[in-house]
Amino acid sequence: MIKKKDRKKLKRIFGTSNRPRISVFRSNKAIYVQLIDDFSGKTLVSSSSREKVFTDKKKTKIELSNEVGKLLGKRAKMLKIEKVVFDKRKYLYHGRIKSLAEGIREMGLDF
C-alpha cells in the first residue's frame, strides 16, 4: 500500500498530443481504459468491458481485458496514434493489466 506521504514522491505520468497517456481503471467486475491528451485535457478514445460489444460473450476477466485492449488499439489506429504512455497507476503489472497491455501492443501501439 502506498502511504500518503509517499504519494508525493511518485512521478506523474503526463501525455501529450503526440504521445497520449493510457489511463487504466480496474474495478472488481470491469476494466476501463482511456487515451488522454493532458495538454488539452481531453479524452481522445475510450473503451471498457461494459460496452455492448462484450456483454453477450462468456469470457474470463483476463480474456475480456485483452479484447478491451485490442478495441482501444483499433480506435487509436483510426486516429493515427502510434506511440502512447501507459499509466497503470497503483495497479501491479500482472493479470488483467498485463493482458490489457498485451492486447494494446497486438494492435501495433508502442509504449
The answer to the question of residue 2 being in a domain is: no
Tally of residues, the chain = 111
84 vs 92: CA distance, rounded Å: 19
Q: List the CATH number of the domain containing 29.
A: 3.30.420.100
Q: Say how many domains are in the chain.
A: 1
45 vs 28: CA distance, rounded Å: 23
pLDDT at 1: 57
pLDDT at 9: 56
The answer to the question of residue 40 being in a domain is: yes
38-79 pLDDT, tens digit per residue, is: 888 899 999 999 999 888 778 899 999 999 999 999 999 999
92 vs 9 pLDDT, higher one: 92
pTM: 0.84
pLDDT at 7: 56
pLDDT band at 83 (very low <50, low <70, confident <90, very high): very high
6-46 pLDDT, tens digit per residue, is: 555 556 777 777 889 999 999 999 999 999 998 888 999 99
Range of the domain at 33: 12-106
pLDDT at 80: 93
**CA angle (103, 107, 109) in 5-degree steps:** 95
Report the largest interatomic distance among the alpha carbons of the chain, rounded to a whole angstrom: 44
Residues linked to residue 47 through DSSP beta bridges, in sequence order: 33
